[in-house]
């Protein structure tokens, strides 16, 4: 049932404040400002490395989580897409743990990658939406994301709920490894508790994002840029746009532009820059200026502070609430999803059932 919405995707985008609230409630003890998780069965102090594996959007959730685990838990992290991981015979030992992330829990490559790691690593964790899925059944520890059924082929609410689940796992690992103290755990838990309200605020900007999407829909190619944990969001934004609107889009780390992709820039290629004001904001602004100096049209998605500092020369600016950098990847998913959704509406494509795609990829 789509309720008041035209598409399942719209419904699922707008459900995010509610379902993210469910995920936070499942993993954060609000009264004690502390993470509670089945992942406590693994001692993160007994491992030297964590490997995160998934496909598509779930892989980009792993990519964001790498930044969190490394910063919060000081734990070395490797990430890989399941179809590569399973065939490259990566060396694994009892000093490793591995997390497999899948909305459906049935993705063939992710399941095969899990089976490769099982028995070699200390512990296999599954971050899934479908708790009775094959991937959940094959794991030692199951972390349900509690997003509720996701019908739209393009993953939206599952992505942000995967992020919340992985964020709590990083906090837990940080506590166990002594990398964060109780006060920092409480601060991070409070920020996650704030995420539903923040993403709800971001969703109120839909009209502005839809107006931008009308213009993006005229482009043949679109670039997305981000730095730090916003880099995987740039990749996710580009994936959403191409799968829904069939517009060619690529995501790059902002700092990589000058190493090649900047050759693509002209006034026909919009560049979507995802840049909350964080410690790397100024670096991103200088990459943005390099783009504008070559005639590129920058759509800057930032907060009021960032808009004041760098919005003047941008082609379009979308102003999100000011948030702590920890939850920025969760909140900035909303404009990326809305941009792709409205670009698809403008192009008249089948939003819930894009051509050539299936909701669950059970072939290799
Ligand atoms: C993109 C999308 C896909 C899936 C990927 C993995 O919007 O939905 O990239 O994320 O096929 O699927 P799951 O998470 O079910 O393993």
Q: Are strands 96-102 and 123-128 parallel, antiparallel or unpaired?
A: parallel
Is 259 within 8 Å of 197 (Cβ atoms)?
no
- Rounded to the nearest angstrom, the distance between the alpha carbon of 85 and the centre of ligand 1 is 16
Ligand 1 in contact with 160 (CB < 6 A)? Answer: no
Ligand 1 in contact with 168 (CB < 6 A)? Answer: no
Nearest to 81 by CA among 65, 50, 67, 60: 60
> Which residue's C-alpha comes closest to atom 10 of ligand 1?
57
ipTM strictly over 0.90? Answer: yes
Is 343 within 8 Å of 244 (Cβ atoms)?
yes
Specify the residue for token string 């095969």: 112
pLDDT per residue as tens digits for the range 229-281: 999 999 999 999 999 999 999 999 999 999 999 999 999 999 999 999 999 99
Pocket test for ligand 1, best of 9, 62, 103 (most atoms within 8 A of CB): 103
Using CA atoms, how far apart are residues 181 and 44, in angstroms rounded to an integer?
15
Distance of CA 355 to the CA centre of its chain: 23
State the alpha helices, DSSP H only, in the chain.
8-14, 16-27, 56-73, 82-85, 108-117, 134-138, 157-176, 182-203, 206-216, 230-245, 281-293, 304-310, 328-347
Q: Whole-structure pTM over 0.90, yes or no?
A: yes
Query: What 3-state DSSP class applies to 273?
Result: strand
- Rounded to the nearest angstrom, the distance between the alpha carbon of 193 and the centre of ligand 1 is 26
- Rounded to the nearest angstrom, the distance between the alpha carbon of 159 and the centre of ligand 1 is 9
Burial 149-180 (b: 16+ CB within 10 A, else e): ebebbbbbbbbbbbbbbbbbbbbbbbbbbebb
Nearest to 38 by CA among 169, 130, 175, 219: 169
Average pLDDT, the chain: 96
Ramachandran angles phi, psi of 98, nearest 5°: -135, 140
Ligand 1 in contact with 162 (CB < 6 A)? Answer: no
Ligand 1 in contact with 129 (CB < 6 A)? Answer: no
pLDDT beyond 90 at 360: no
Query: What 3-state DSSP class applies to 310?
Result: helix
By annotation, the residues acting in catalysis are 359
- Rounded to the nearest angstrom, the distance between the alpha carbon of 56 and the centre of ligand 1 is 5
- Residue 110 makes CB contacts below 8 A (sequence gap 6+) with 53, 54, 55, 58, 82, 100, 101, 102, 135
Q: Which of the two residues, 357 and 65, has the higher pLDDT score? A: 65
> Which residue's C-alpha comes closest to atom 9 of ligand 1?
56
Paired with 35 in beta bridges are 28
Ligand 1 in contact with 155 (CB < 6 A)? Answer: yes
Ligand 1 in contact with 57 (CB < 6 A)? Answer: yes
Query: What 3-state DSSP class applies to 102?
Result: strand
> Which residue's C-alpha comes closest to atom 5 of ligand 1?
56
Pocket test for ligand 1, best of 107, 114, 339 (most atoms within 8 A of CB): 107
Ligand 1 in contact with 154 (CB < 6 A)? Answer: yes
Distances (CA, A) of 116 to 112, 121, 131, 133, 255: 6, 10, 21, 18, 35
- Rounded to the nearest angstrom, the distance between the alpha carbon of 162 and the centre of ligand 1 is 12
Q: Is the dihedral of CA 67, 69, 74, 80 positive or negative?
A: negative
Using CA atoms, how far apart are residues 364 and 355, in angstroms rounded to an integer?
19
pLDDT per residue as tens digits for the range 22-49: 999 999 999 999 999 999 999 999 999 9
pLDDT beyond 90 at 126: yes
What is the 3-class SS of 173-198, one letter each residue? HHHHCCCCCHHHHHHHHHHHHHHHHH
Ramachandran angles phi, psi of 80, nearest 5°: -155, 155
Q: Which of the two residues, 351 and 231, has the higher pLDDT score? A: 231
- Rounded to the nearest angstrom, the distance between the alpha carbon of 3 and the centre of ligand 1 is 24
Ligand 1 in contact with 56 (CB < 6 A)? Answer: yes
> Which residue's C-alpha comes closest to atom 3 of ligand 1?
56
pLDDT per residue as tens digits for the range 152-190: 999 999 999 999 999 999 999 999 999 999 999 999 999
Written as six digits, the tokens of 84 are 């590569």
- Rounded to the nearest angstrom, the distance between the alpha carbon of 155 and the centre of ligand 1 is 6
pLDDT per residue as tens digits for the range 319-342: 999 999 999 999 999 999 999 999
Query: Sheet harboring 49-54: ordered strands across?
Result: 77-81, 49-54, 96-102, 123-128, 141-144
Computed on alpha carbons and rounded to an integer, the radius of gyration of the chain in Å comes to 20
Pocket test for ligand 1, best of 102, 109, 132, 155 (most atoms within 8 A of CB): 155
Q: For the chain, how are helix, strand and coil distributed in percent, rounded to 5?
A: 50, 15, 30
Ligand 1 in contact with 176 (CB < 6 A)? Answer: no
Distances (CA, A) of 9 to 118, 127, 171, 200, 293: 34, 21, 30, 16, 37
State the alpha helices, DSSP H only, in 74-130.
82-85, 108-117
Is 112 within 8 Å of 86 (Cβ atoms)?
yes
- Residue 130 makes CB contacts below 8 A (sequence gap 6+) with 103, 104, 105, 106, 136
């Amino acid at each position: 049932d789509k309720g008041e919405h035209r598409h399942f995707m719209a419904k699922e985008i707008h459900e995010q404040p509610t379902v993210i609230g469910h995920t936070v409630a499942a993993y954060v003890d609000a009264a004690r400002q502390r993470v509670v998780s089945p992942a406590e069965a693994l001692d993160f102090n007994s491992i030297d490395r964590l490997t995160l594996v998934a496909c598509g959007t779930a892989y980009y959730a792993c990519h964001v989580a790498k930044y969190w685990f490394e910063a919060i838990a000081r734990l070395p992290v490797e990430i890989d897409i399941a179809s590569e991981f399973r065939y490259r015979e990566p060396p694994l030992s009892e000093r490793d743990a591995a997390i497999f992330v899948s909305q459906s829990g049935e993705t063939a490559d992710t399941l095969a990658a899990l089976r490769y790691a099982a028995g070699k690593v200390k512990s296999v964790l599954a971050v899934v939406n479908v708790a009775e899925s094959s991937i959940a059944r094959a794991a030692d520890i199951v972390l349900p994301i509690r997003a509720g059924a996701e019908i739209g082929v393009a993953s939206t609410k599952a992505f942000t709920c995967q992020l919340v689940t992985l964020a709590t796992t990083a906090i837990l690992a940080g506590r166990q490894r002594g990398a964060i103290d109780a006060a920092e755990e409480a601060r991070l838990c409070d920020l996650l508790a704030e995420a539903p309200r923040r993403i709800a605020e971001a969703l109120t900007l839909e009209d502005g994002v839809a107006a931008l999407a009308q213009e993006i829909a005229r482009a043949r190619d679109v670039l997305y840029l981000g730095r730090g944990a916003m880099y995987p969001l740039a990749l996710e934004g580009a994936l959403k746009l191409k799968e829904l609107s069939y517009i060619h889009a690529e995501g790059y780390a902002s700092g990589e532009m000058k190493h090649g992709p900047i050759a693509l820039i002209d006034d026909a290629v919009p560049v979507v820059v995802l840049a909350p004001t964080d410690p790397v904001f100024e670096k991103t602004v200088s990459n943005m200026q390099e783009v504008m100096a070559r005639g590129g049209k920058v759509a800057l998605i930032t907060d009021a502070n960032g808009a004041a500092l760098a919005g003047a020369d941008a082609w379009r600016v979308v102003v999100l609430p000011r948030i702590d950098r920890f939850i920025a990847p969760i909140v900035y998913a909303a404009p990326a999803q809305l941009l792709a959704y409205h670009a698809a509406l403008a192009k008249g494509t089948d939003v819930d059932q894009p051509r050539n795609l299936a909701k669950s990829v059970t072939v290799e």
